[in-house]
Chain A
Amino acid sequence: MAKKTLLNAKDIHIILHRLACQLIENHNDFSNTVLIGLQPRGVFLAKRLVDILKKDYNISNIKLGQLDITFYRDDFRRRTEPLEASNTEIDFIVEDKKVVFIDDVLFSGRSIRSALTAIQSFGRPESIELLVLVDRRFSRHLPIQPDYKGRQVDVINSEKVIVSWLENDKKDAVYISDN
């Protein structure tokens, strides 16, 4: 399995700070905004961003939740591998809030489609935006595009984009592997 590095720890550090600043530009003090990390891998990115917003930009009171989309997927019974659910934790009101979905890689857009359905179970948000670390261009199955993106890449469908996080995978990095 050949693996090449797309982003190293320093690149990720810069990108996360840029994304944090872009969020501040649009959401000021986050008083009417909630951040939702998509399970399982989007949660690491969401927590990282919240850390930066709190420590480096002194924004307290950020509401962060995590959303699992397993029961909303459109490929139930169509896969060979069984699906495995993760926890959902949204202990605040979503109704009339500006929601920002946070995920690591945007590929077909189907997970985001499921998340759009799932979040409705918690109320009707004022708006929903999407933040991703890596946007795989030209691979969308649905008309879904990110509002904030770390890096856009062109990779063929058989290639995989792997995001590794220090707290979970010992290292901050993004790789492209050909399998």
Chain B
Amino acid sequence: MKQLSVDHLLGIKNLKRQDIDLIFETANHFKEVINRPIKKVPSLRDITIANLFFENSTRTKLSFELAEKRLSADIINFSASQSSVKKGETLIDTVNNILSMKVDIVVMRHPNVGAGVFLSKHVDAKIINAGDGAHEHPTQALLDSYSIKEKLGTVKGKKVVIIGDILHSRVALSNIFALKLQGATVKVCGPTTLIPKHISSLGVSVETNLKKALEWCDVANVLRVQHERMDIKYFPSVREYTQLFGINKELLDSIGKEIVIMHPGPINRGVEITSDVADSSQSIILNQVENGVAIRMAVIYLLAQQIKK
């Protein structure tokens, strides 16, 4: 297969196994490209991409922008905080206005679940979901799996535990879909208040004891505690969370094997993970960032290929 089976990247749930393989294969080529003295290819020089960020983002936005620039696309950037959204404009109006400027691809982050799906039904452009509420964040899950594959050779058969705030995390949901699709076994670990009730219906198991989860896994993907999404108190104090679910050097040393540590960023150092772990040789956090650019180049390139002249 040389083409994606989908018209937009809205979530991992819509992807097939072959789509993930194709994205990874294409990303391999782009990873080589971004390590050249001149890190740019001219493929997308007649494509215009709008980055619409209705919610704050640092690395995802930078990563997408860099990926687009490396492919020679023209870019327009939009952040909700500086726009007419504050004046009451609807999502469709905002986007249609932007599309009248002849935009081919829209990369969107939005606080509402399903914003990407909604948009894909109403506007004539390729949509890439860069995170919609607590739903999906497909490119993050793809780069996470790609990084696991790069480190361990394969994702199939690996045991991955996702630790922390599963309830509010789009990274967790997309990761679960992506990992299961590639044949990994997935466990989630966190305070019961932050684990969705019916999570086992996705084919993952639940563990509330961090040490047991770490002893079981090959890879630990540590999530950020999302204070901004917590409308009520989900755990008594940050200190207690750190004591029960924070990963530190002593804990890792005590499990008697070397596991891979991942974190989608931004890190709350000293809360979910200590600095000596985040900066250790077991951590592939910075590889995830580098791979993010290659993965996003691959996704954009493959979707752009479907836009006919």
Contact = CB atoms under 8 A, between A and B. Distances in A.
B42 A71 contact: yes
B26 A72 contact: no
Give the size range of A's interface with the partner: 20 to 34
Contacts of B305: 76-77, 82-83
B198 interface: no
Contacts of A82: 2-3, 305
Contacts, number: 51
A96 to B, nearest CB: 13
Interface string B165-192: 0000000000000000000000000000
Interface in A48-95: 68, 70-73, 76-78, 81-85, 87-88
B29 interface: yes
B43 interface: yes
A99 to B, nearest CB: 15
Interface stretch (B8-16, B33-41, B95-103, B105-113): B33-41
B36 A121 contact: yes
Interface of A is mostly: loop
Contacts of A76: 43-44, 304-305
Nearest to A71: B41
Give the size range of B's interface with the partner: 20 to 34
Contact of B26 (A73, A78, A85): A85
Given A76-B43, A77-B304, A82-B2, A121 B309 contact: no
B32 A87 contact: yes
A117 B41 CA distance: 9
B29 A85 contact: yes
A13 B76 CA distance: 56
Interface string A99-137: 000000000000000000100111100000000000000
B87 interface: no
A83 B33 CA distance: 17
Contacts of A122: 36-38
B308 interface: yes
13 contacts: A72-B43, A76-B43, A76-B44, A77-B308, A81-B2, A82-B305, A83-B2, A85-B29, A87-B29, A88-B32, A121-B40, A121-B41, A122-B36
